[in-house]
Amino acid sequence: MPRAISKTSRRGKKDSRRGRKPNGRLRAIRRIIVRTIAGGVLFISLLILALRWLPAPTSAFMMTRHAENLSSPPARPLDYQWVSGRRIPAHMALAVVAAEDQNFPHHWGFDLKAIGQAVRHNRQGRSIRGASTISQQVAKNLFLWSGRGYGRKALEAGLTVCIELLWPKERILEMYLNIAEFGDNIYGVNAAARRFFGKKPEALTRHESAVLAAVLPSPRRLSAANPSPYVLRRAAWIQRQMHQLGPEYVEWP
């Protein structure tokens, strides 16, 4: 004879099912989050892979600066014209490596020695010194917003690793030379050569290349068109570094 099921046991099963529902919702939310993150990582990876061959139409940094200009009239036009690395002289590529990241050919996106030196320098209470490599600058200028938060730094690190894995060094440097800011709303060697020296990028001299590299730390404050004594001293130092590194230090098309 079948055993009768008590009301208490039926109530207990209903309560247990109610207790499992929130866990089911949490699992569904977790799946959505994981799939969203995985989809974002896949999209960015495919975008980075495509940019190994395609010119960058713009960058996150350019769009941010352009929005700032539009919000504070008179707006200055954005000057950006992509140019192939074959039209950029090798001494221009060497100049930015000498100025910004002399270990660029050897590291995998992060210069641990430079990071350690920057930490010691900043702890001594002197002016803040950065330690971003050219690869890191490409990652943050191309994809990220301005800021110093830990979340943004983590994204920058991940993007840097991805770029180093998917692009050859020549492509990273070519991208940097095209999207770096050389003056107020002036981006890339092509625009800088025409605006500051009235010539095509392939006609840049070693001195002009060094002057352009000299303004990179602060292109809105320093001028390549009317270089200050500081810019000229820095350009002379960059030329000495270029001579010490040698013309074969950077592989270039």
Sequence spans of domains, the chain: 79-245
Average pLDDT over residues 120-141: 76
Does residue 151 surpass a pLDDT of 80? yes
Q: What pLDDT score does 125 carry?
A: 62
Q: What pLDDT score does 128 carry?
A: 47
- Three-state SS across the chain? CCCCCCHHHHHHHHHHHHHHHHHHHHHHHHHHHHHHHHHHHHHHHHHHHHCCCCCCCCCHHHHHHHHHHHHCCCCCCCEECCCCHHHCCHHHHHHHHHHHCCCCCCCCCCCHHHHHHHHHHHHCCCCCCCCCCHHHHHHHHHHCCCCCCHHHHHHHHHHHHHHHHHCCHHHHHHHHHHHCEEECCEEHHHHHHHHHHCCCHHHCCHHHHHHHHHCCCCCCCCCCCCCCHHHHHHHHHHHHHHHHHCCCCCCCC
Q: What pLDDT score does 1 carry?
A: 47
* Fold category of 79-245 in CATH: Penicillin binding protein transpeptidase fold (1.10.3810)
Q: What pLDDT score does 26 carry?
A: 87
Give the pLDDT confidence of 115-130 residue by residue, as tens digits.
777 666 666 665 444 5
How far, CA to CA in Å, does 140 sit from each of 83, 122, 147? 20, 22, 10
Q: How confident is the model at residue 169 (pLDDT cuts 50, 70, 90)?
A: very high
Percent of the chain at pLDDT > 90 equals: 66
Q: What pLDDT score does 119 carry?
A: 66
Query: 22 versus 149: which is more confidently predicted?
Result: 149
Q: How confident is the model at residue 148 (pLDDT cuts 50, 70, 90)?
A: confident
Q: What pLDDT score does 30 carry?
A: 86
Closest CA to 61 of 133, 140, 155: 140
Average pLDDT over residues 63-70: 88
Does residue 15 surpass a pLDDT of 70? no
Note the pTM of the prediction, 2 decimals: 0.85
Q: What pLDDT score does 129 carry?
A: 47
Average pLDDT over residues 66-85: 88
Does residue 31 surpass a pLDDT of 60? yes
Give the pLDDT confidence of 207-252 residue by residue, as tens digits.
999 999 999 999 999 999 999 999 999 999 999 999 999 999 999 9
Q: For the CA atoms of the chain, what is the radius of gyration? A: 26
CB count in 10 Å sphere of residue 44: 15
Q: What is the chain's length?
A: 253
Burial of 232 per CB tally in 10 Å (0-12, 13-18, 19+): middle
* 74: preceding bond cis by omega (within 30 degrees): yes
> What's the mean pLDDT when you consider all of the chain?
88
CB count in 10 Å sphere of residue 226: 8
